[in-house]
Structures are given as structure tokens and as C-alpha cells.
Amino acid sequence: MKQRKLGSGGLQVSAIGLGCMGMSFAYGGADDAASIRTMERAVDLGVSFFDTAEVYGPHVNEVLVGKALRGMRNRVQIATKFGFRILPHGQGLQRMAGVDSRPEHIRVAVHGSLQRLGIDSIDLLYQHRPDPAVPVEEVVGVMADLVREGKVRHLGLSEVSAATVRRAHAVHPIAAVQSEYSLWSRDPERQVLPACRELGIGFVPYSPLGRGFLSGALTSTDGLAQDDFRRGLPRFQDAALRSNLALVGQLQQLAAGHGITAAQLALAWLLHQDEQIVPIPGARQLGHLEENAAAAAVTLDAADLAAIDAVLRAGSVQGARYTQGDFDLVEL
């Protein structure tokens, strides 16, 4: 697979990575054995960039990623995240008790991530969500200390504003910013992506397939697990869902004209937005993984991009991407 650079510090990864959250968290129906096979196959396909976080599970996704990639350390780059206070008891989301980027917590979180992943150094460490109680300069200062200590190689931020990116980058080079970005979530185009381009910072879109919606396979929430958090997202509610399905139908028609799937077209569109964009679609099934990886080879011209934008332009999608409680954790 083609390689791309994130930032100016030498971090080079596959053009398409693998988001591992859904293997353990948020979408229900976890199957560790199948997930391990998927990660092993990803490496065979040239996927080298794997994304996890301490809060996925919590903790169990890092354990799973570490187990799957053990013995492949020289072939992969592993990204993880800190930034939430995690309670010792409860299940899943019940254990999340707000953000926490206090310096002492960062060190505890990174120590735990290294142990669970079974590695000596994290390739890319993100602050998962901004913490209003701790200035980003202080957060990045601690992260930079971890780089000097050899525990972390490159730094990232997630769901932050352009102003925060600039403040952070002034303390220590930021390799990548991660935010939701896809044909149906275009917010980063306003300020964050231009700031990243100006500063030479990579951009890592999570949910690049609209949490599976842009594939066209999800036409109803009926088949989702009861604990699948998409059931509560505004874009998946009845009226919004019907309107958005019509848009995906048009995307499928455009994809068919290229002999590819709607998911591949959506990923190829992202890759054509900038050379330092590396999407991390999730995949629990081998077929979806292989489909996504093949998108790295799709070529689009200006007319193709214009046709796609005409269908899924900014503002055409119905419903917010998050609930208000989720929006409270991001910088807009």
C-alpha cells in the first residue's frame, strides 16, 4: 500500500489505517478472535497504522491490539489516546467520568497504555479530548517530556479547534490532528484543515465512512445491537435516516460508474483532499477490511470530485453527528 507522512517529524504510515475501536467498544457484538484475524490480514495488505485508545472498552481494546500485533512491531505504527477519567467499576460508557488531562493523569494513562499494548514506545499519542481545566500548553509540555523519555515518538490532538492546534504546535511539533471527517461530516474544512496545511500537520479522519452509513449497507437501525451507540445519534433517527439514505443512493450510483463500492469512493474522496490525510476506517470483517484497503489505489479526477461534492456537499446531510452531550467534549 502507498505510504503517507504525518507531520514533519518522520512519521510514515499506510495511506489507509485501521480504526480498532469498534472491535471492542460502541457497536456491540465483539468477537476478539475475528478481530485478531482482521488485524493480521491488515498487516498482510500493507496496512501499518492502527488506532486505539485507553477508553475503548475501557482498556480492553488496547490489550486486543497488543495481542494481535505482537511479533509485528517493526511493521506497524500504533496510535493511542488519553484524556478521560475512567472509573474502576461499571460497564462500558458507565465508567467514563469526564475528561482528565492533568499532568499526573497523563503519565499514569501512558504507563497503562504501554503495558496493555506490550510495547516500549507509543508511535503517536493523542490527547483524546480537550480538557477545559488544563491549558493545552501544559498538556503538550507533559507529552513532550514523554517524547524525550522515549515513551512516545510523536504527538497528536483530537477534536480540537484551529486555535488550539496553533497553541499546541508552538510548544512541540504536532504530527497529526484526529477528528471526524467524511463526506457527511465536513466541519474540519472550515478552519482546522487549513491550519494543519499551513503548519505541516497531518490529519487523521475517524469515522471516514460515516459510522458505516456511507457504505450503503446500513438502511435501518433495526439490525443494530441494542448497545450500539448509533441508535442514539441524530443522523440515524427516522426522518434524518430516510433523507440521508437518498444521498447515499446517489453516491452508490457514482461509485458504480467507476466499478467500485460507495465505501471505496468515500475513502478515495478523502485521500484526494490532501496528501497528509490518512483515514482510519473501522472493520471487523475481512471483506470490509479488504474493500477499504483497496480504496488507496482508486484515482479520481477533478470532474469526479465535483460530482461527488454535488451530491454530498456541506449542509446536505440531515441531523447532527453527535448528541449535545457528545458535543460538549469537542471544540467547534
Residue written as cell 440521508? 244
136 in any annotated domain: yes
Has residue 187 got a pLDDT over 60? yes
- What pLDDT was estimated at residue 26? 67
Q: Phi first, then psi: what are they for 140, rounded to 5°?
A: -65, -30
Give the span between the Cα atoms of 127 and 199, in whole angstroms: 19
Give the span between the Cα atoms of 270 and 125, in whole angstroms: 23
Give the span between the Cα atoms of 313 and 78, in whole angstroms: 33
Average pLDDT score, the chain = 93
- The arithmetic mean of pLDDT across residues 245-250, rounded, is 93
Residue with the bigger pLDDT between 239 and 128: it is 128
Range of the domain at 25: 3-209+271-297
| Residue range 254-305, pLDDT digits in tens | 999 999 999 999 999 999 999 999 999 999 899 999 999 999 999 999 999 9
Q: Can you name the residues that pair with 84 across neighbouring β-strands?
A: 99
- The arithmetic mean of pLDDT across residues 182-192, rounded, is 95
Q: Can you name the residues that pair with 155 across neighbouring β-strands?
A: 125
Residue-level length of the chain: 332
Has residue 179 got a pLDDT over 60? yes
Give the span between the Cα atoms of 233 and 231, in whole angstroms: 6
The confidence band for 326, taking pLDDT boundaries of 50, 70 and 90, is low
| Residue range 96-144, pLDDT digits in tens | 789 999 999 999 999 999 999 999 999 999 999 999 999 999 999 999 9
Residue 197 sits in a domain whose CATH number is 3.20.20.100
- What pLDDT was estimated at residue 219? 84
66 in any annotated domain: yes
For the chain, how many structural domains are there in total? 1
Q: Where are the alpha helices (DSSP H) in the chain?
A: 32-44, 60-69, 103-117, 136-148, 162-171, 192-199, 238-258, 262-271, 286-294, 302-311, 324-327
25 in any annotated domain: yes
232 in any annotated domain: no
Q: Output helix, strand, coil percentages for the chain, rounded to the nearest 5.
A: 45, 15, 40
Buried b (16+ CB within 10 A) or exposed e, 65-86: bbebbeeebeebbbbbbbbbbb
328 in any annotated domain: no
For residue 125, give the nearest of 104, 145, 108, 110 by alpha carbon. Answer: 110
For residue 56, give the nearest of 282, 325, 322, 289 by alpha carbon. Answer: 282
Give the span between the Cα atoms of 242 and 218, in whole angstroms: 11
Q: Phi first, then psi: what are they for 306, rounded to 5°?
A: -65, -40
56 included as an active-site residue: yes
pTM over 0.85: yes
223 in any annotated domain: no
The confidence band for 332, taking pLDDT boundaries of 50, 70 and 90, is low
Active-site residue among 56, 126, 181, 322?
A: 56
258 in any annotated domain: no
- What pLDDT was estimated at residue 218? 84
